Structure 1
Amino acid sequence: KATAILEYIQRTVERRRQAGALPLPDDWCYVYNFDEPDRPNALRLPPGVGRNLRDQLEELLSAVRDSVSRAFASEEYEHQKRETLEGGQQEAKRIMDQAQKQAEEAGFLLRFSPVGVALVPLVQGKPMNAEQFAALDPAQRQEIESRQQRVMEAVGEVAERLRAVEREASQKLRQLDRQVGETAVAGLFDSVISQNEAHSELVRFLERLREFTLANVDLFRDRDGQPGMALALAAAGPQPDPFLAFRCNVFVDNSQARGPPTVVEVNPTWTNLFGKLERRAHLGTYVSDHTMLKPGAVQRANGGYIILNLVDVLSKPGSWDGLKRVIRTKEVRLEDPLEQYGLLTPQGLRPEPIPVDLKLVMTGDPMAYFLLSAYDEEFWEMFKVKADFDVQIARTPENGVAYAGFICACCQREGLRHFDRMAVAKVIEQSSRVVGDQEKLSARFGQIRDLIVEADYWAGRDDSPIVKGQHVERAIDERVYRLNLVEERIRELIARGVIMVDVTGSVVGQVNGLSVLDFGEFSFGRPSRITARTFMGQKGVTSIDRESQLSGRLHDKGVLTLSGYLGWKYAQDKPLSLSASISFEQA
């Protein structure tokens, strides 16, 4: 079924391409989210733009690092930085000198240190130590402490003024760094933005990236010719990427697409369908980022077609519910499958969901379809189109020619020898035998392909350049030989008289019947002796096989139908006084 559906979709796409009405699927990229780094943003771009964006950002990062490093290593920057620092230092010195003078007038000496400002009393212009202060009488100590309290209040004001000077100098240095950074990267970003001005979402991302670069310009600087701290950490081992904002994950790349994608997923697990969040080990835990997001079949089939097997989807935990959620919301979310069961996951990302527009084709057997129709309320609402595949087709001259074309296509696709007229006729004859109808042909082309491949093998054994009718017959005989072990054992039992079957003469109340044993790929008829006995009584027809629970429902229905017929035929005007038994002997 999947092969037939795939070929039909390909033919439909080719017709639309020839008619010029074939849209190409877009690229999808995940980029850094500057507001919430654990929620990467998804960008929808025309086909091929995603790969170009990734290359542009890599080149932009290299150019920004070179330009920023040169700018901050220039003499002009060092001169402006030195002037800013010297200006702050001079202002701080003036404030400290003024404070020192005021303290000396009050009889104290100021000592500035990294831990704060200390007041030391003066005696005759010399600092007083602790022993001298303790030797003073209480009145003098109280008087000094009173003056010290007033000076400490003034010193507090001085300390606040010094901190303000330090903050102002730091602010000027940051402004200087930003100005230098803007001068270094303005042209670089303007060039990339102008190349992508047709894509508004991408332009907004590039503008935010420029603001991020200017706010974190220290990341891109080289100090004394050595890599910055972030680069040194990155070189020491697996570390978070300091330039993650410049990384573009081309999540779905359709740069080489010639039409809508057609994806056949043979193993529809959660990650194979909806994508995967990869992680790396770091400091005893696992971390992830937007560059480690991998697409699933649904994302790769976006804008096209996806073919799934219903039984395979139902047998994979979470896949069926996730697929229904995609159909219902028309978007696919990249989530960790463990979270669906309430389990904790390390550093969970919440990537922005991607809207999907695709055609979902689900193949399966009728029983699964009927069960879901009966027990899943959403099934009818989501899967509105049902198509049945017949296992047989009419045996017409047109279909005979089509069969020959199928054989030729198989030979070309598989690199096999071609079939002559007699070999094609034998294949068609076997196809009718498979469905058990001379006016029908089998539509199970997988089995016919296996026959073609095996016939080619026997032609190779005979060194024949083409496959002939005898090779097809040999392939059929060898297949029967591999599967008919049970049939041979039953024939042996009949020949030895263990299973009693008479093929000559006649016996009242005894006939030979034939039951078909089906082993899937092989079926055969088993002869059985059917015996009926009548005797006086009113029990009617009794099936010995039914009473011993050895019969099936169809057999029981046949016996009851026979009882009804006898009653209708012979008991219209009087009761039927009959007791009879019927049995499949040695069943």
Structure 2
Amino acid sequence: METAQYQQLLSLYKVPVSKLSSHCDGQMFQFETTAEIEQKQSELIGQKRAVDAMDFGLTVKQPDYNLFVVGPSGTGRLTYTQQKVGNLAKEKTVPHDWCYVYNFENPDRPLAISLEAGVGARFHHDIEVLLKDIERLIRKTFSEEPFENKRRTLLAGFEKQIEQSWKDLEDFASNLNFRVEQTPSGIDTYPLRFGRPLEKIEYDRLTKEDKEELQKKSRQLEEKINQTINQIQKVESEIRKSLDLFMKQSVAYSIECLFQPLYGEYEDNPKVIRYLKAYFQDVVEHFSIFLPAADEKEEFDFLEVITGNKEQQLQRYTVNLLVNNKSEKGAPVIYETNPTFQNLFGKMEYKGALGNWTTDFTLIKPGALHLANGGYLILQASELLQQPYAWGLLKRMLQTGHIQIENLYEVQGAYPTSGLRPEPIPLRVKVIMIGSYYLFDLLASYDEDFYKLFKVKVEFDTEMTKDREHYEQMAYFVKDYSDREGLLPFHRRAVVKIMNYSSRLVEDQRKLSTRFQEITKLLVESSYWASRENSRYVDDIHIKKALDEQMYRSNRIFEKYKEMIVSGTIMVDTDGARVGQINGLAVMGTREYTFGIPSKITAQTFAGRSGIMNIERETSLSGQIHNKGLLILTGYLSGLFAKNRPIPLSASITFEQTYQMIDGDSASSTELYVLLSSLSGVPIKQGIAVTGSVNQWGEIQPIGGVNEKIEGFYHVCKEKGLTGEQGVMIPKQNIQNLMLHDDVMDAVEKGLFHVWAVENITEGIEILTGVSAGYPLTNLGEFQPESIFAKVADRFDQMYQAAQKMNPMKKEKEE
């Protein structure tokens, strides 16, 4: 191919400077700086699908329509979710308060009581005041003179019965000539003689008949004593019962006035009324708790430690205000950043006593589900799934519609606990989980209940269409964020630069990025550099300065690679021409910075039937996609050159000086070019680097990272010296992805560097070699003379004939 013809070919496929990047037209903005933009309601930009899904999921009232907000970090998914849910929650009714109270019938099962918002705090206060008033009235009642007089009168009647019983016993004993006396050790009886106790010497002198008679009377007296004691014990029992009943009646009468107002105040809540009546009965039954101790003992009382002191006993008459929505203005919105078992579902705290751990209903603490009940609970999926038992229990509570406070030690089965089982609380909450595509797919694949409970997918995109509406919204976003964060205003030129950077983030001239985390980072840093220069606003030079500084902080690895290439440690030629050698392009880097680097790809072809050997595959350094790309090369070569006989090809191909895993098919066209060069013997220009995948028909397919690849090769060429003939060849479909840096575009505009776009292998091989690819003359595999394909076909013929000579037996068999 003649030089003029070759230059014409290069010009035909050269990408013009105007298509190497997309520039926002700053004239569409009617402001000089963002300080002139009028304030308006902030809105989510470029996420219509997510906005519609969020509106639907938050509005539908049926259960199980919980939301999973999915998308990459930095798209504003959390900020928008909190803002949207917060605004909607303000319009909702404030949910009820919840209290736990003592269950007088079953103390191990505390009762849950629901009260209207704000009433819970009042109920808690009313019961607190009630307890104090009860103690005051009971003490007052038992200390008043009317009560004491009635008690004395009651006791006096029983005392007369006891005295009469003793008098009857004494009379009975006297008739038998005996005396009865009460002593500290019991009841003693003495036989009498002449009105005095019978002495032992006198008893010994009695006749046998007299002794037997005396013993008979003694037995009669013993029977009478036993009867009398039984009668007295019955009377004493009646005294205790009557006195207890009298005191309970007195207590009931005295405190009834305290409960009547509460019955009226909470008459609309049957559960509260039942609790108050049980409360009243229990106070009457256990009125002694409210009485002062008979004597104040300062010494240690072991029994009191075991049974609980008075304060602990009185705790049953208190209220545990679990959820207090008194200060809420709408439905609650809880964002639980640490969704542990206890933080989500509540817990029962314990306290130590004599080496044991005990608990009661007053130690029940709420979790995020309790606080969000009647409203919205926002969770990060990654945080939730890291917590043991949290996901499983959350599912169970959403399925049952109740919040059951579980004891973590019981769930783990570590050791027996107190067995406290609070009454479940009805659950009515909208759960919004935020996570990545990976976690969404993981849950959807491995948990059959996931779709039943999270029926609304809110998907955030990473890009949006580039149009006037989104330009204006982005400009307002810049203004709103700079105002909120106290940044300098941004000039129109700076806003244009930000728009271009946004397109660069998505590598698409037709799109803008919705990853506002990267945009806000640029806003903060550019404002910093503008402030350093005492500028009144941020201009385009400050945007460029911020981007350059970001690159400088992160491109150490790229600089090392470039240094090794320039020094020859990594062997990459950027000038001249070589047979069987080409520069491929790969993308490397870290999370903060990615860059493209050239890599020498070489091929050797020789007679044989082993096919194309991928050295990376043989050394386990090749991924599956890369292996697939090389198999496609065999299909292309066979389809083009094996029309009437097989291809006796053996070839080896490798990425030189690479010692890590290689995957992807973006170098498959590059590998095909180098194979064609090796087979035809036509050298490839080393100043042209190549990227792009290929199919079996030889069509070039688009790849990713095109900007980084072009810029990486440009910087290497610049360090080694630009010749004006260097450049990168890319797939034509990738033109729309070009958003090159200004220095590369300047070099292209000056003719120092070039970008070519091709659609098929024939176009690419001609640019790389300056030799016509050739076209088939017949269907038998004959091509235009002196073309590359003709040379390759001739080489295959030579290989085939050599193979036939080496194996004549096979030739005879074929004939």
Tell me the TM-score normalized by structure 1: 0.91
Listed one character per residue, the Cα deviations across residues 58-83 of structure 1 (whole Å, up to 9, x for unaligned) are 22222222222222221111211222
Structure 1 unmatched runs, 5+: none
Identity of aligned pairs, percent? 36
The CA distance in 2 between the partners of 1:141 and 1:507, in whole Å, is 147
Matched, 1:427 2:503: no
Listed one character per residue, the Cα deviations across residues 413-435 of structure 1 (whole Å, up to 9, x for unaligned) are 44444433333333332222222
Instruction: Give matches, 1:57-96, under 5 Å.
Output: 57-96=127-166
The CA distance in 1 between the partners of 2:396 and 2:202, in whole Å, is 85
The CA distance in 1 between the partners of 2:297 and 2:115, in whole Å, is 35
Distance of aligned partners of 1:537 and 1:375 in 2 relative to their CA distance in 1, 3 Å threshold: same
Give 1:27 deviation, angstroms. Answer: 0.6
Distance of aligned partners of 1:466 and 1:194 in 2 relative to their CA distance in 1, 3 Å threshold: farther
Give the partner amino acid of 1:487. F
Per the alignment, residue 9 of structure 1 pairs with: 85
Per the alignment, residue 450 of structure 1 pairs with: 521
Query: Aligned match of 2:354 in 283, 288, 293?
Result: 283
Give me the CA root mean square deviation.
2.8
Per the alignment, residue 689 of structure 2 pairs with: none
Give the partner amino acid of 2:179. L
Per the alignment, residue 536 of structure 1 pairs with: 607
Give 1:190 deviation, angstroms. Answer: 1.0
Listed one character per residue, the Cα deviations across residues 529-566 of structure 1 (whole Å, up to 9, x for unaligned) are 11122111122222112112222222211111111111
The CA distance in 2 between the partners of 1:101 and 1:225, in whole Å, is 40
Give 1:136 deviation, angstroms. Answer: 6.1
Per the alignment, residue 115 of structure 2 pairs with: 45
Distance of aligned partners of 1:213 and 1:576 in 2 relative to their CA distance in 1, 3 Å threshold: same
Instruction: Give matches, 1:129-528, under 5 Å.
Output: 140-222=210-292, 241-344=312-415, 346-528=417-599
Distance of aligned partners of 1:228 and 1:448 in 2 relative to their CA distance in 1, 3 Å threshold: farther
Distance of aligned partners of 1:131 and 1:25 in 2 relative to their CA distance in 1, 3 Å threshold: farther
**Residues 222 and 228 of structure 1 are in contact (CA less than 8 Å); yes or no, is this contact kept in structure 2?**
no
Listed one character per residue, the Cα deviations across residues 492-522 of structure 1 (whole Å, up to 9, x for unaligned) are 1011111111112222222111100142232
Give the partner amino acid of 1:291. T
Per the alignment, residue 565 of structure 1 pairs with: 636
**Residues 89 and 333 of structure 2 are in contact (CA less than 8 Å); yes or no, is this contact kept in structure 1?**
no
Distance of aligned partners of 1:423 and 1:253 in 2 relative to their CA distance in 1, 3 Å threshold: farther
Distance of aligned partners of 1:75 and 1:529 in 2 relative to their CA distance in 1, 3 Å threshold: same
The CA distance in 2 between the partners of 1:82 and 1:97, in whole Å, is 22
**Residues 158 and 239 of structure 2 are in contact (CA less than 8 Å); yes or no, is this contact kept in structure 1?**
yes
**Residues 219 and 228 of structure 1 are in contact (CA less than 8 Å); yes or no, is this contact kept in structure 2?**
no
Give 1:253 deviation, angstroms. Answer: 0.9
3-state SS, counterpart of residue 458 of structure 2: coil
Per the alignment, residue 25 of structure 1 pairs with: 95
Distance of aligned partners of 1:169 and 1:505 in 2 relative to their CA distance in 1, 3 Å threshold: same
Listed one character per residue, the Cα deviations across residues 442-491 of structure 1 (whole Å, up to 9, x for unaligned) are 22223333333333333443344543333333332222222212111101
Give 1:436 deviation, angstroms. Answer: 1.7
Distance of aligned partners of 1:159 and 1:510 in 2 relative to their CA distance in 1, 3 Å threshold: same
Structure 2 unmatched runs, 5+: 1-76, 659-815
Query: Aligned match of 1:98 in 159, 162, 168?
Result: 168
Return 382-391 or 46-55, whichever deviates more: 382-391
3-state SS, counterpart of residue 350 of structure 1: coil
3-state SS, counterpart of residue 34 of structure 1: coil
Q: Greater CA radius of gyration, 1 or 2?
A: 2
Per the alignment, residue 126 of structure 1 pairs with: 196
**Residues 410 and 417 of structure 2 are in contact (CA less than 8 Å); yes or no, is this contact kept in structure 1?**
no
**Residues 85 and 169 of structure 1 are in contact (CA less than 8 Å); yes or no, is this contact kept in structure 2?**
yes
Give 1:240 deviation, angstroms. Answer: 5.0
Listed one character per residue, the Cα deviations across residues 119-164 of structure 1 (whole Å, up to 9, x for unaligned) are 3333443334678767767665544343333332332221121112
Give 1:25 deviation, angstroms. Answer: 1.0
| More RCO (CA 8 Å, sep 6+) | 2
The CA distance in 2 between the partners of 1:225 and 1:66, in whole Å, is 19
Per the alignment, residue 15 of structure 2 pairs with: none
Give 1:331 deviation, angstroms. Answer: 0.9
**Residues 263 and 306 of structure 1 are in contact (CA less than 8 Å); yes or no, is this contact kept in structure 2?**
yes
Listed one character per residue, the Cα deviations across residues 279-298 of structure 1 (whole Å, up to 9, x for unaligned) are 22233323222222111111
Give the partner amino acid of 1:324. K
3-state SS, counterpart of residue 247 of structure 2: helix
Give the partner amino acid of 1:294. K
Distance of aligned partners of 1:579 and 1:114 in 2 relative to their CA distance in 1, 3 Å threshold: same
Listed one character per residue, the Cα deviations across residues 339-389 of structure 1 (whole Å, up to 9, x for unaligned) are 111122553421111110111222222333333333333333333333332
3-state SS, counterpart of residue 38 of structure 1: coil
Return 49-58 or 105-114, whichever deviates more: 105-114
3-state SS, counterpart of residue 580 of structure 1: strand
Give 1:95 deviation, angstroms. Answer: 0.8
Distance of aligned partners of 1:131 and 1:355 in 2 relative to their CA distance in 1, 3 Å threshold: farther
The CA distance in 2 between the partners of 1:529 and 1:446, in whole Å, is 37
Per the alignment, residue 553 of structure 1 pairs with: 624
Aligned length: 577
**Residues 409 and 417 of structure 2 are in contact (CA less than 8 Å); yes or no, is this contact kept in structure 1?**
no
Listed one character per residue, the Cα deviations across residues 279-329 of structure 1 (whole Å, up to 9, x for unaligned) are 222333232222221111111111111122223222111112211211221
Give 1:224 deviation, angstroms. Answer: 8.8
Give the partner amino acid of 1:25. P
**Residues 181 and 189 of structure 2 are in contact (CA less than 8 Å); yes or no, is this contact kept in structure 1?**
yes
Query: Aligned match of 2:652 in 561, 575, 581?
Result: 581
Distance of aligned partners of 1:210 and 1:568 in 2 relative to their CA distance in 1, 3 Å threshold: same
Give the partner amino acid of 1:43. I
**Residues 516 and 525 of structure 1 are in contact (CA less than 8 Å); yes or no, is this contact kept in structure 2?**
yes
Return 450-459 or 515-524, whichever deviates more: 450-459
**Residues 491 and 538 of structure 2 are in contact (CA less than 8 Å); yes or no, is this contact kept in structure 1?**
yes
Give the partner amino acid of 2:602. T
The CA distance in 1 between the partners of 2:500 and 2:185, in whole Å, is 102
3-state SS, counterpart of residue 42 of structure 1: strand
Distance of aligned partners of 1:130 and 1:281 in 2 relative to their CA distance in 1, 3 Å threshold: farther
**Residues 220 and 228 of structure 1 are in contact (CA less than 8 Å); yes or no, is this contact kept in structure 2?**
no
3-state SS, counterpart of residue 12 of structure 1: helix
3-state SS, counterpart of residue 509 of structure 2: coil
Return 546-555 or 403-412, whichever deviates more: 403-412
The CA distance in 1 between the partners of 2:491 and 2:531, in whole Å, is 15
Give 1:211 deviation, angstroms. Answer: 1.6
Distance of aligned partners of 1:454 and 1:137 in 2 relative to their CA distance in 1, 3 Å threshold: farther
